[in-house]
Amino acid sequence: MITKNELIKFFELKNLKYDEVKIGVWQDYLKMFDASSVSDALNKVALDTAIFNPNVGHIVEKINEGNNSSSKQIAEREWQECLISARGGGDKPISARAAKALNSLGGMMWLRSSDTDKNEWHRKEFMNIYEITPTPMDADFRCLGLQAGMYIDDSRLLLD
């Protein structure tokens, strides 16, 4: 959790008025984030001359910028795993989230049969879709690109 002294330092650096209530509200809202991420975000906003009257939303925005870059790295790594699997005939397991994103583009067969000249476009499409694809509940689940069957929960289809 971010300390009271860190917030006071931030408010003073930005020449902002503060009181116990404001510090408490900021602490309460920012407690859901990692303390080091909050400290980094406070420093970034404090040094940002374009932000004259910062609010807690500016801090959250800076925190999310840091998280966003790591999520892009994860998406890039997943794309590389999809390419490796495609080159190997679809036998190498890929994550369920990557498989779901890839399936929305046409699946492993689409990737395997597409022109290598279009790989950069395919990567961009995959990255965009991967970003909005929810992480499955079972994050350790892996599936094979070509060989994984798609199963639905047919218990929902039974009528009473």
Helix, strand, coil fractions of the chain, as percent rounded to 5: 65, 5, 30
Structure tokens at 122: 């395919």
Quote the pTM value: 0.48
> What digits encode the pLDDT tens for the residues 3-56?
999 999 999 999 999 999 999 999 998 988 888 889 999 999 999 888 889 999
CB 126 within 8 A of CB 79: yes
> What digits encode the pLDDT tens for the residues 77-99?
899 999 888 888 877 888 888 88
Residues in Cβ contact with 139 at an 8 Å cutoff, skipping those fewer than 6 apart: none
